């Protein structure tokens, strides 16, 4: 699976990178320079270790879906269409060892760790009865967190709050402390800011649309999320903007991504 996704990404990485941040599709600013305080490769190695440990624990509980499970095949097929477009947002991502797995649990949750380690829980698929388009929007959102290196930025900013603004000034002035921070901590429990979540929504829509999935599924997805939120809030919503505001933002940006979707369908 990893080799297949890597080959798909590598085959398109050059062409996609040439149009990075072009006028078509979603536009967002450059990633925060503060993230450079955390070594990317070190963070990705830690993510791979945590991901592997999670898979082993799930397997021990017989909760790790087999490679031939229909939903695993479905998730990996969707990822196989999204991954070729990742280099537009992160040139290094075409070389990541992408993985997609399914965990048997009632949690309404999914994630993508640094380095392209994707996991879905059966709860999000079964409780919300997600269509392929909706799965692609969720996956695009989670992949966007990894591509925009939100975890790397969160860790760096957390460390800076302890060390003070003077260090930030020295870093911005000359990069003196680049790579100085340790990446210790549990990546699986890392929480993103609302700005991160909003950015991931938009980048995720762009990825899904380029892969030929209907970005309007973002609206139906968040309506389902809102309905699920009437009881205990799903874990996936922990730091996310409210469903109403989210739907408004998605609808606002649909004109930027619908042409990508139509082009992908014709192609």
Q: What is the pLDDT of residues 35-65, one digit of tens each?
A: 888 889 989 999 999 999 999 999 999 999 9
Residue tagged active-site, from 134, 142, 149, 159: 142
Higher-confidence position of 234 and 252: 252
Q: Do the beta carbons of residue 98 and residue 128 sit within 8 Å?
A: no
Give the pLDDT confidence score for residue 101 in this predicted structure: 98
Say which residue, 230 or 257, is predicted with more confidence.
Answer: 257
Q: Mean pLDDT, the chain, as a whole number?
A: 82
Q: What is the pLDDT of residue 127?
A: 94
**Bridge partners for 99 per DSSP:** 117
The larger pLDDT score, comparing residue 103 to residue 229, is at 103
Q: What is the pLDDT of residue 21?
A: 39
Q: What DSSP letter does each residue of 4-33 carry, written as one string? A: HHHHHHHHHHHHHHHTTT-SSS----PPPG
Sorted by sequence, the CB contacts under 8 Å of residue 154 that are 6+ apart come out as 190, 191, 192, 193, 196
pLDDT tens-digit profile of 16-38? Answer: 333 333 458 898 888 888 788 88
Position 170 scores a pLDDT of: 55
CA angle 124, 125, 126 (to 5 degrees): 100
C-alpha span between 156 and 164 (Å, rounded): 12
Tens of pLDDT, residue by residue over 176-217, are 444 444 444 555 556 777 888 999 999 999 999 999 999 999
pLDDT band at 239 (very low <50, low <70, confident <90, very high): low
251 is catalytic: no
Determine how many CB atoms are found less than 10 A away from the CB of residue 41: 10
Q: What is the pLDDT of residue 189?
A: 56
What integer pLDDT is reported at residue 183 of this predicted model?
A: 47
Q: Does pTM surpass 0.85?
A: no
Q: Has residue 5 got a pLDDT over 70? A: no
Q: Can you give the pLDDT at residue 267? A: 77
Q: How confident is the model at residue 106 (pLDDT cuts 50, 70, 90)?
A: very high
pLDDT band at 173 (very low <50, low <70, confident <90, very high): very low
């Amino acid at each position: 699976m990893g080799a297949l996704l890597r080959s798909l990404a590598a085959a398109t990485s050059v062409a996609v990178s040439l149009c990075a941040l072009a006028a078509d599709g979603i536009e967002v600013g450059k990633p925060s320079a503060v993230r450079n305080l955390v070594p990317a490769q070190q963070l990705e190695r830690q993510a791979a270790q945590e991901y592997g440990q999670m898979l082993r624990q799930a397997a021990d509980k017989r909760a790790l879906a087999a490679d031939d499970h229909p939903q695993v095949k479905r998730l990996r097929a969707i990822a196989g269409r999204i991954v070729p477009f990742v280099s537009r947002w992160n040139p290094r991502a075409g070389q990541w060892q992408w993985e997609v797995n399914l965990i048997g649990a009632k949690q309404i949750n999914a994630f993508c760790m640094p380095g392209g380690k994707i996991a879905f829980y059966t709860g999000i698929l079964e409780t919300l009865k997600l269509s392929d388009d909706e799965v692609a929007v969720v996956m695009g959102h989670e992949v966007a967190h990894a591509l925009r290196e939100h975890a790397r930025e969160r860790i760096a900013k957390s460390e800076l709050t302890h060390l003070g603004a003077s260090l930030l000034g020295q870093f911005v002035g000359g990069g003196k402390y680049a790579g100085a921070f340790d990446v210790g901590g549990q990546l699986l429990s890392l929480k993103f800011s609302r700005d991160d979540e909003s950015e991931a929504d938009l980048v995720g829509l762009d990825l899904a649309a380029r892969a030929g999935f209907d970005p309007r599924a973002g609206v139906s997805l968040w309506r389902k999320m809102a309905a699920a939120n009437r009881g205990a809030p799903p874990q996936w919503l922990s730091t996310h903007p409210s469903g109403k505001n989210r739907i408004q933002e998605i609808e606002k940006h649909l004109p930027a991504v619908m042409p990508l979707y139509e082009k992908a369908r014709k192609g």
